[in-house]
Chain A
Amino acid sequence: MTGNGDGVVVSLEGVRKAFGDLVVLDGLDLEVRQGESMVVIGGSGSGKSVMLKHVIALLRPDAGRIRVDGVDLASLGNRELTHFRRRFGMAFQEGALFDSMTVAENVGFSLHRLTDLSAAEIRERVEECLRLVRLEGTGEKLPSELSGGMRRRVGFARAIAHEPEILLFDEPTTGLDPVITALVDDVILDLTEGLGTTAITITHDMTSAFRIADRIGLLWGGRIVALAPPEEFRELDDPRVQQFIHGRAEGPLTDPREVPGSEIGEERKR
């Protein structure tokens, strides 16, 4: 399903995005290959979520180009965009579950809307996805009855339910306990290594990043400033990479003179 020879599925070229005066992405380049598990790390407010939302056209770039299988997203009309999004699954930071629906209805939502599966088949698939994140038997609950971590896992199950070709994970393991984190990591590994799904994960959990990534990129100042497979990434002598990996408070990432626009603010939403 790659469409072009070099196996690049998602490519961002010179993507720039500003909210008012705050430039969040500033000429970002990134290519993600077919079947690859790409992990993008970066501090809070570095624009990771914003980048991810550009890949699925929830946000439009001020400048630059985003292509999926060689197709420029800017060229898609509303209807084509709807069709295009079927190939994606996305898990949101706080789960973003529909709170008027039960857990099972949430996980089965895309199956109902996007596939021809029968009600029984949907039920089966929903239960299977919930089992993957160790939430079997919670199908009849409402999101408000779940803890934050459980909601996040339901959101994860919902993202993978219709077996999309490209998965986008917005901090899938933040706030989960280490055991569940390892579990979610394993599911991501199964999907990318076993089924050849392409995944883009953003996180600031370094353990998780090293476990699931084929390549890791560091987003800083609106660009990917370092990009390498996990083993090489660990050895990079870029001080910014080393500061992030080792979680040091002092360093170029936190030096106000080095930070473009000198604002490491809240993660900006719309």
Chain B
Amino acid sequence: MAELGRFFLVFARVMAWTPRPPYDWRQLLRQMVRVGVESVPVILLTAMFTGAVLALQSFSVLARFNAESFVGSLVALSLVLELSPVIGGLIIAGRVGSSMGAEIGTMRVTEQIDALEVMATDPVHYLMVPRVWALVAMLPLLVLMGDVVGMAGGYLVAVVLMGANPVVYIESSFRYMDLWDLAQGLIKAAFFGLLVGVVGCQKGFYTSGGAEGVGRATTRSVVAASIAILISDFFLTKVMTWLTPLIVR
């Protein structure tokens, strides 16, 4: 419970500091490179195989109903709506959330955070604001790449391995998908980016107890962010399916 309180406290402070100058564009850019650009390979790799295995599974299931022509639709919609943002979020929680927890936690136990405060620099403003927004900006981009590569993975399996008709497959991929589906996935991704950033910063900021404490903060960043992603995904989906009829036509 106390952890939840801290989460909202950190969240509120990040929001409150965001509009205040000076804007540290250089730091933001640096973090965007760190969380975004450097995560591209691992995101592409996992998306590729997610799409591939999805095609493999749905092919064998849909074949039982003679509905192989829907494999493309199923793969595309599952990826865009659900798998790409959730798996992307989990991967980023492991890769970026953990390093944020460890980095800020180390800064805490080596008194670097105290040093910042002493030099009249708010650690929330200086450390957390650029990290959180870098994640909010980059995770949707990564997920978008994941969508494309995942569908390519599905295509490869269906067409090359299972012998599906390439034209039918591609046509089926896009037949039932509209822009709102894509947007839903990206909104989720941005939200997961926010969760990973705030949780990582929070766990790091409240670290105590030397190297052991930093280890604990690192683990907790990943575990808490992953759980938060999976739980919030349910509620986000609920809200967005409720919104869908209002937005689409």
Contact = CB atoms under 8 A, between A and B. Distances in A.
Q: Do A and B bind each other?
A: yes
Interface of A: 53, 56, 58, 78, 82-83, 85-86, 88-90, 92-94, 96-99, 109-110, 113-114, 155, 158, 269-270
Contact of A114 (B116, B120, B208): B120
Contacts of B208: 269-270
B110 interface: yes
B197 to A, nearest CB: 18
A110 B119 CA distance: 6
8 contacts: A58-B114, A82-B122, A85-B120, A93-B111, A96-B110, A98-B115, A109-B119, A113-B121
A195 B117 CA distance: 25
A92 B117 CA distance: 12
B120 A86 contact: yes
B117 A58 contact: yes
B118 interface: yes
B16 to A, nearest CB: 10
Interface residues of B, number: 15
A158 B114 CA distance: 14
Contacts of A113: 119-121
Nearest to B126: A113
Contacts of B110: 94, 96, 99
A158 B208 CA distance: 25
Given A269-B208, A270-B208, A96 B120 contact: no
Nearest to A161: B119
Contacts of A78: 122
A89 B115 CA distance: 9
Interface in B80-129: 107, 109-112, 114-122
Nearest to B209: A269
A161 to B, nearest CB: 10
A94 B118 contact: no
Nearest to A53: B114
Nearest first, the 7 A-B pairs at minimum CB distance are A96-B111, A96-B115, A110-B119, A90-B118, A85-B120, A92-B111, A82-B120
A90 B79 CA distance: 53
B117 A98 contact: no
B112 A98 contact: yes
Given A92-B111, A96-B111, A97-B112, A58 B118 contact: yes
Contacts of A56: 118
Contacts of A114: 119-120
A170 B164 CA distance: 72
B117 A85 contact: yes
B165 to A, nearest CB: 53
Interface string B113-155: 0111111111000000000000000000000000000000000
A96 B114 contact: yes
Nearest to B112: A96
